[in-house]
Each structure stands twice: as C-alpha cells, then as structure tokens.
Chains A and B, each alone.
Chain A
C-alpha cells in the first residue's frame, strides 16, 4: 500500500462464469445441452487513489468497472490480488472498511421510494451506525449541501431522476466516509442535473479531502471531473494516467496534410515513427498520419521524411494541422484493436503520486 493512498487495488483478478442451458453453438450452429461461459471482469488490475483525488474509471459496457467498485466495497471477492481502503485489507477488515466507504450503485435504486429524502438519510444513517442528534444534523447538512432541502419531506418516488441521484450521493455520504465510489453517477441525467452533480463531487473532493472513484461512459464527465483516468476493457487496465497527460500523448501525434492530389501511401511505409497513414475526404484529400506520441526525435524525423516525399512528388501542400484529440477519440482507439494502445501502457501511472 502506498503511503498516501486511501484506496488501492493490487493485482486483482476476477472471473465470472455463467451457465447456459440449450445454447446454440456459434461454430457448429447446433444446439448444445449445456455450456459454461467464463467472463473476465478484472485481469490483474492495480491502481490507487490519493486523498482529495477524483479517479475516473472508463470503459465500455461489461469492461469490469462496476466489478472494480464492488471489489473495493467488499460486495465482490477477488479471485486473486487484494483491495485496500485506508491501509486495511478489504477481505480481512470488511466491516471496519465499510464505515469509511460510501457507495452509489445505480443511484436511483438505492433509496427507499416510499420514504422522504430525510427519512431515507435517517434510516441508512442508523444502518451505518450513525445515531442521535449527529445523524439528524448531518442529514440536514447533506440535504442543504446537495440542494434537496426543499424536497426533504417529499416522497422519493415523486422526485426526478436527478434528485434521486443526488439523494443517493447523500445516502453514500451519511456516515461521513473518506472514500466515495460513484458508479455511473450522471447516466440518464439532463445537462443541469449532470452539471450539479459534477460540481458537488468536485466540492466533496477539493474542499472535504475525500477520495472519489467515478466510473462512467461519459467522456465529458471524465474529462471535466477526473484528475486521473484509467481505461479498462475486457477486464484489463489499458491506460492509467493523469487526464492532461492522457490527452497530451495523443494530441501531439496526429497530423493532417491537405494536398492538391493523392500521393501513394506505400511511399510512407517503412518510415519509423509512423503508426498509421490514411486519406480522409474525397474532393480535397487530407492525408492523416498518426505518429508516435512520446518519442519526439522519432516523430520529428518522420515529419521531415514525410515533407521530403511531398517535395519529391512535387505536391502542393495546402495546409498542415495538428489534431487536438478529446478523451472520446482516445477511448475509442484504446478500446479498439489499435496497436498504439501500447504507447499509453508504457507511461501508466497507476499509483497515486
């Protein structure tokens, strides 16, 4: 466990097996009696989260994000590896750890709909061992903080989805946890609600020094909110970097050359530093090169060679631009079978600084 980290996953692995009765075999197209399917939800995942840090876990559906959250909260036991919270092993000190962890899983389902937000907070507070005047005071403070004070006596079933989500965050915070695990906190919310929740999460982290783990599909949420981002696919952690660094690595390596005519792509094959070259557009084609991100010398040399080829081919170079990438494009490339995913793996910083 790193000295400063509040949460750490160390080499955790998890496989789930599902049994299917009378499935159709994909190869033979014949029906089988029984088939067991094993899905890898976590394959040697390691990362840590420092106090006051918002850590984003990105990945497509079924990538293993929720499994990671559940392993930290003790809802799922890893097959191998260990999870730590506040330096305590989740498997060995689960009950102790649960006092320090607040979890929002599918937020709108967390609360009891026949009760009001205030009653929900009191109920879950007691389950989390908070009692008496402290509990009531904290419930009021949280409702104030999240902006639900005017709805405190309205039954949850009458609240909007965003309000239910806000309440779920309050419920997770009722025991004053050091760690907040938010599984898809803004999914299905409108822009305003999403913005409000992002602001509150930022406030919880920056001003109150809590660690927050956010899992999301929404690249904007991750880009705006997270200090560090890990990208997970098929249970494997394929990138883990500070958000700026993640964007930087890719923003430097895509160059688009607008030419007066097409130049054969074979001329560029074999140039070190070029990962991919392709034409985009038809009338005025743009030749787009993906160059290595981190080796500046190699990239510079590749650019010189490219321009030299244009010269030799007597092409009119109309414009050159460097493409700024957003997290979405990085995410799509990393979760596809793009070979340059390896570039990011080299610079992974899974442990909190």
Chain B
C-alpha cells in the first residue's frame, strides 16, 4: 500500500511538471518524434535496397539486430541513468534528504520514482520497436505478450542493477561519472549481444549471462527478429526452421535468474550502502 501511495505522489508530481512545463514537454515530444521519423524514413527510403544490402551481411538479420540492440541499449542507458544521474541531481537539490526522511524508506521512494520515470522510457522504446517493425515490413515479428513480458523482466533486471550502482552513488557521489562508462558498456553490449556470443569459453559465457542486459537482448531479438523460429537441422544440412517459444529458450531462464539475482543483489547492496552512507554522513548530501 505504501508503495502505491508513493507511486501516486510521484505520478502526480510528474504529471504536474509535464503539464506546467508544457513547452518543454511538447518540444521534447516533437524532437523525439522527429528523430523517430528520421529513423523510420531512413528505413522506408532504403527499404527497396534493404533486402539486397542485408545479403551482404553474414547474418541477414545483422541490420535489424543492430537497430534493435540500439533501442534496447537506449532503454538500459536510461533506466540505469535514473539511479546515477537521478540520485546525484536529487542530492544536489536537497530533495534526497527529504526522501531519506520519509517513513517509507529510500528504496521504496526510489523504486516508485523509477517506475514512474520509466513509463515514458518504456512507452517511447515500445513505439520505436513497433515503428521499426512496421517500417521494415515484416522483418520484425511483433508478438505482444512475449515482448511485454521480456520488457518487464528486462526493466526489473536493470532496476536491480541500477539499485546496486545507485547504492554506490549514495556513498561515493563521484562514482556517477564511472557509472556513465558502465551505462555505455551496457549500451554497447545490447547492440552486439546475440546467441552466437554464448558459444565462447564458459568463463566468458558465464560473465555475459551475469551481465544484466545480455540474455534480455538475446530474448528480445529472438522474438522480434527470428520470430521465435529455431533451426533444428543437422550441421551442413538444409535449414529446418520450427517454432520454439521464447519461454522455452535457455536465455529466458537466465533472464529470470538474472532478474532475481540483480533485484536481490541490488536491493541488498542499496540497503547496505544506505546504512554505510548514514555512518559516513553522506546520505542526502552532495
């Protein structure tokens, strides 16, 4: 109940700011739309030649792989950024001290803020994914339920990871700068993540599984690009594609495990760091 009340407070606050600074909101939307249209126009313009061009790639889905990875990467960049830049900003304005003194606790307050702020990110990411699906005309396979489930799991996965980074920011405010590198790393990983990467030696593969975005991206790409079709042919034989739900994909289970792992690690570390920063006297100060 308390989480819902805090979330309501955050929703009301966000809505008021969005309405009050309508010019900024509208220009933001126009700019976003403009960028989106440029992206879509680029696809439409090159659509005729796209099929020819994608033949040049070893993997025909390389182009869409890249674009989809870009969008997922942007999502990861944004969610983790809320914990780093967001915390730093609140510390600088003094609002963080007030949140720390709320009886709901800082973690609940911050979770609510992140959920509310993420609504816009999730919406814009979904619109972009959908627009890309439309513009490439069938090269992407939109499947609402798996996509929503995957996006939700990815979100909580990233939130868990964000809580971990945010916890560090609470104590070491300068970590925020390093966190930009971490966000860039996630961004890059989202672009280049594909199933083939998991064929590497096990320590490297394990590391990729542990990172919060790898399996999420692989699953999203599996649904949207491959249309949940798996090649079951023997090596060297002609490809034989059969439908295999993403929910049966090993990366999906890694994603669930990852989600639980990062949520647990993130919240635990955030709590520990909150306590430590109270000892250090850095909670709420910048």
A interface residues with partner B (beta carbon < 8 Å) = 14, 16, 41, 67, 70, 73-77, 79, 95-96, 98-99, 101, 103, 105-106, 109-110, 112, 114-115, 119, 122-124, 126-129, 131, 155, 171
Contacts and interface: CB of A to CB of B under 8 A. Distances in A.
A99 B103 CA distance: 6
A79 B278 CA distance: 11
Contacts of B280: 16
B103 A115 contact: no
Given A16-B281, A75-B278, A114-B21, A129 B13 contact: no
For chain A, what secondary structure do more than half of its interface residues adopt (helix, strand, loop), or is it mixed? mixed
B177 interface: no
B111 to A, nearest CB: 13
B16 interface: yes
Contact-residue bracket for chain B: 20 to 34
**Shortest Cβ-Cβ A-B pairs, 4 listed:** A109-B94, A126-B9, A127-B102, A77-B278
Nearest to B281: A76
Given A74-B101, A75-B283, 14 more contacts: A41-B281, A74-B278, A75-B101, A95-B103, A95-B104, A96-B103, A101-B101, A114-B20, A122-B12, A126-B6, A127-B9, A127-B102, A155-B20, A171-B98
Given A14-B281, A76-B283, A110-B94, A98 B5 contact: no
Given A75-B278, A98-B102, A112 B97 contact: no
Contact of A77 (B12, B93, B279): B279
Nearest to A106: B94
A157 B275 CA distance: 33
B103 A126 contact: no
B13 A123 contact: yes
Given A67-B281, A77-B279, A119 B101 contact: no
Contacts, number: 84
B105 A126 contact: no
B20 A105 contact: no
B279 A128 contact: no
B278 A127 contact: no
A129 B2 contact: yes
Given A98-B101, A98-B102, A99-B103, A119 B16 contact: yes
A129 B94 contact: no
B8 A77 contact: no
Interface in B182-234: none
B278 A76 contact: yes
A151 B281 CA distance: 35
A123 B12 contact: yes
B258 interface: no
A75 B97 contact: yes
Contact of A105 (B2, B6, B8, B94): B94
A119 B283 CA distance: 25
